[in-house]
Amino acid sequence: MKKIHSIKFSRIILYIVLALGAIIMVLPFYWMIIGAFKTSAEINQFPPVWFPSSFNLDNFKFALETAPFATYFLNSLIVTFCCLICCTFTTILGAFAFSRLKFFGRDILFSLLLALMMVPFEMLIITNYRTIVSWNIHDTLFALIVPFTSSIFYTYILKNFFASIPESLYQAARIDGCSNWKYLWRIMVPIAKPALVTIILLNAIACWNSFLWPMIATNSPAVRTLPFGLYAFQTEGGALMERMMAAATLVVLPMILLFLFARKYIVNGVARGGLKG
Amino acid sequence: MKITIENLTKQFDNHLAVNNFSAQIESGQLVSLLGPSGCGKSTMLNMLSGILTPSQGKIWFDEDDVTDVAAEKRGVGLVFQNYALYPHMTVLENICFPLEIQRVPKAERIARAKEMAQLVHVEDLLDRLPKQMSGGQQQRVAIARALVKKPRLLLLDEPLSNLDARLRIEMREEIRRIQQSIGITTIFVTHDQEEAMSISDAIILMKQGVLQQMDKPQELYDQPKNCFVADFLGNPTINKLNAVYEGGRLLVEGMPCDIETSSVPASAPLYLSCRVESVLINQKPSSIKGTIIDTYVIGKENIANIQVGNSRVRAYIDSDSALRPTEEVTLSFKNKGVFLFDANSGERYI
């Protein structure tokens, strides 16, 4: 009897802790979204207003009119989409080569690549910048895409997932006459779907939020992306909090939608655990 | 299809996995490759399938030398120990996959897959994923997938080791039935002698990469070529008594024995090996004596453990036998199931 009570009690504690964690996570987003609907009087009010009196869309209208958000949005979309396609493709091929193909110096080569991960991105900016200037793609969308068409980190994650797929599947397919190429796309990639979705999602968020590199590699508003647009908005639109909130909401919205859409796959990926059979 | 293996050798870095192996497997037979773990039987299978290339020797399928032929061109079906079903594909897709690779038109491949599913009795499970099936069902699907492309040779790598005891017996009978119904030459790798004995036309017994004996199951049991074969087969395992040939007669654990012997080198250490069912207790006058240690029940019969000299002997006794521990008994042997081996080389004398 006593034991049942203590289990229930620890459950309650657990839920309280989890609930607090959830609130801490969600609060900034809530504050941003309601902030976008507030009037300039409400935003600076103290004690803070938790529910805006009316859902006015003026802030969004202002944000969209002041900065060329449509252009930024389209640029972000193009850059993110191209990065995702290229990076996912090279990641899949690289992970396959490093996990299944046997070639001379494979493990040493991979260790070297992993060692490169220790070089911070900020260090690479100078060399990357010189490269895009000498290729003459400075201040174009290409400059935002080309440096991100492959990733050692994602290759590493996917390689480990690929390596966990039993070798016997590969042999079974080989005996049936399946080529490496076909095996990769028909067997490995579908099995690795949970890992792939995770990688794509992480990469999408990273691309979408990328700020430092676009700021350095581009000058003209025609090729700016959303995060830098938001930064520019601060100066162009004045530091009005409710307008900033509206602009920020517009920037974050696609990522939130993407997350809600892909949530099922992420949970599946975690819950699935090991492979049976 | 007849398979001829000629002086096949496989050398890994510093380990000789298969050593100068020659054998011939007749068309339509089910042959077991039997041996303890690490004896090279899986290596043999992988060389037959083409996953591994041999270091030396040749493999012939009928009149074709396939030693250097790629795995996919050999026409073999392989069933893996863990079944190796594609986890994201349904049963039907799994069975269809080999045909999809061969670019068989879709309607035909589905028809052929369904035919195979019927043969292995999984026709009701076509929409299931592997994880939604039991081990036995997965096994059936794996067999169907191996057979759907109409291979000339079916290879099974320890296919029953992941199943529980009851299912194992059911599945081995199923494998026999399926093999018989399409008459395909089949090689079955196992470390379980009972499995091998029960379904094979012939057994190849291996030890450390060397073929010990290839024979029909009963022959292998009744006429082992050497001490290892006699030790490996039989449950309970064969009794082994120390013996020596001296002064024109055989001494077993120091006691004279009336077993007929000829051409046995004098003074060399020997083993007198006798099957548990070949030991007779208190039935004939004999100078081999032993002491009962204990008796235990194993179903319809009882077994007695008997200390004879420095060795222990097991023998069947009636379940209503009055033999009790510490009792002295006289041991004699039947003619069948008694062998004399050289203790060092394992060579058989009688």
Shared domain for A103 and A220, answered yes or no, is yes
Pick from A100, A176, A181, A268 the residue to mutate for testing the B interface (most B CBs within 10 Å). A176
Q: Quick check: B73 contacting A, CB < 8 Å?
A: yes
Nearest 10 degrees: CA dihedral of A35, A41, A45, A51?
-40
CA distances from B161 to B47, B87, B187, B194, B256 (A): 21, 20, 16, 12, 45
pLDDT at res. A269: 57
Q: How confident is the model at residue B154 (pLDDT cuts 50, 70, 90)?
A: very high
Interatomic CA distance for residues A163 and B11, integer angstroms: 26
* The amino acid at A208: W
pLDDT at res. A159: 92
Interatomic CA distance for residues A240 and B67, integer angstroms: 79
Last residue of a domain, one of A13, A31, A56: A56
Q: Quick check: B83 contacting A, CB < 8 Å?
A: yes
* Mean pLDDT of all residues belonging to chain B: 88
Please name the CATH architecture into which domain B3-224 falls: 3-Layer(aba) Sandwich (3.40)
Shared domain for A116 and A195, answered yes or no, is yes
pLDDT at res. A242: 79
3-class secondary-structure state, position B121: coil
Residue B118 CB burial class (10 angstroms; 0-12, 13-18, ≥19):
exposed
Residue B335 CB burial class (10 angstroms; 0-12, 13-18, ≥19):
exposed
DSSP H or E segment with residue B8: strand B3-12
Q: Quick check: B150 contacting A, CB < 8 Å?
A: no
Interatomic CA distance for residues A108 and A112, integer angstroms: 6
DSSP H or E segment with residue B306: strand B302-308
CB B8 within 8 A of CB B47: yes
CATH class in words for B236-342: mainly beta
pLDDT at res. B213: 92
Nearest to A177 among B72, B84, B87 (CB): B72
Give the sheet arrangement for strand B288-297, strand by strand: B279-281, B328-333, B288-297, B302-308, B311-317
Q: Which residues contact B206 (CB under 8 A, 6 or more apart)?
A: B21, B33, B34, B35, B39, B40, B41, B44, B212
The verdict on a CB contact (< 8 Å) between B80 and A168 is yes
pLDDT at res. B300: 76
pLDDT at res. A277: 31
Shared domain for A199 and A110, answered yes or no, is yes
Shared domain for A256 and A131, answered yes or no, is yes
Distance between A55 CA and the closest CA of chain B, angstroms: 47
Q: Which residues pair with A34 in a beta bridge?
A: none
CATH code for the domain in which residue A213 is found: 1.10.3720.10
Shared domain for A10 and A72, answered yes or no, is no
Q: Write out chain A residues lying below 8 Å of B88, CB-based.
A: 187, 190-191, 193
Last residue of a domain, one of A35, A56, A77: A56
Specify if A20 maps to a domain: yes
Shared domain for A23 and A125, answered yes or no, is no
pLDDT at res. A238: 62
3-class secondary-structure state, position B48: helix
Specify if A31 maps to a domain: yes
Percent of chain A at pLDDT > 70 equals 92
CB B271 within 8 A of CB B313: no
pLDDT at res. A98: 93
Last residue of a domain, one of A26, A56, A86: A56
Q: What is the largest CA-CA distance in chain A?
A: 76
Shared domain for A113 and A224, answered yes or no, is yes
Q: Quick check: B85 contacting A, CB < 8 Å?
A: yes
Q: Write out chain B residues lying below 8 Å of A190, CB-based.
A: 88
Kindly provide the ipTM of the predicted complex, given to two decimals: 0.78
Shared domain for A76 and A22, answered yes or no, is no
Specify if A277 maps to a domain: no
* Nearest C-alpha neighbor of A49 from the set A245, A265, A258, A276: A245
Domain count across chain A: 2
pLDDT at res. A21: 94
Q: What is the pLDDT of residues B45-62, one digit of tens each?
A: 989 998 888 999 999 998
Which segments of chain B belong to CATH 2.40.50.140?
A: 236-342
Interatomic CA distance for residues A71 and B106, integer angstroms: 47
| A48 DSSP 8-state letter | P
Shared domain for A130 and A185, answered yes or no, is yes
Nearest to A177 among B82, B86, B101 (CB): B101
DSSP H or E segment with residue B339: strand B338-342
For the question of whether the overall pTM of this predicted structure is more than 0.95, the answer is no
Shared domain for A43 and A166, answered yes or no, is no
Q: What is the pLDDT of residues A217-255, one digit of tens each?
A: 888 888 888 888 788 777 765 667 778 888 888 888 888
Taking residues B266-274, what's their average pLDDT?
86
pLDDT at res. A34: 85
Q: Write out chain A residues lying below 8 Å of B116, CB-based.
A: none
CA angle B229, B230, B234 (to 5 degrees): 105
Q: How far apart are the first and last CA of chain B?
A: 36
Give the sheet arrangement for strand B3-12, strand by strand: B15-25, B3-12, B56-61, B64-65
Q: How confident is the model at residue B338 (pLDDT cuts 50, 70, 90)?
A: confident
Shared domain for A15 and A89, answered yes or no, is no
Neighbours of A22 (CB within 10 A): 10
Give the sheet arrangement for strand B269-274, strand by strand: B255-257, B249-252, B239-246, B269-274, B338-342
pLDDT at res. A271: 52
pLDDT at res. A276: 36
- Please provide the DSSP assignment of B227-292 as one string: HHHHHHSSSSPPEEEEEEEETTEEEETTEEE-----SPPTT-EEEEEE-GGGEEESSS--SEEEEE
Taking residues B280-306, what's their average pLDDT?
85
CB B312 within 8 A of CB B303: no
pLDDT at res. A268: 63
Specify if A48 maps to a domain: yes
Angle at which helices B91-101 and B135-147 cross, to 10° = 20
**Owning domain of residue A32:** 1-56
Which segments of chain B belong to CATH 3.40.50.300?
A: 3-224
Q: What is the pLDDT of residues A79-110, one digit of tens each?
A: 999 999 999 999 999 999 999 888 899 999 99
pLDDT in tens, chain A (277 residues): 556 677 788 899 999 999 999 999 989 888 888 888 887 777 777 777 777 777 778 888 877 777 777 888 889 999 999 999 999 999 999 999 999 888 899 999 999 999 988 888 888 888 899 999 999 988 888 888 998 999 999 999 899 999 989 888 998 898 888 889 999 999 999 998 888 888 888 898 889 888 888 888 888 888 888 888 788 777 765 667 778 888 888 888 888 888 888 777 766 655 544 433 3
Shared domain for A201 and A108, answered yes or no, is yes
Among A90-94, A177-181, B164-168, B257-261, the least confident range: B257-261
Specify if A189 maps to a domain: yes
* Nearest C-alpha neighbor of B184 from the set B222, B224, B150, B220: B150
Which residue in chain A has the smallest CA separation from B71? Answer: A175
Nearest to A175 among B72, B81, B86 (CB): B72
Pairing assessment for the beta strands B56-61 and B64-65 based on DSSP bridges: antiparallel
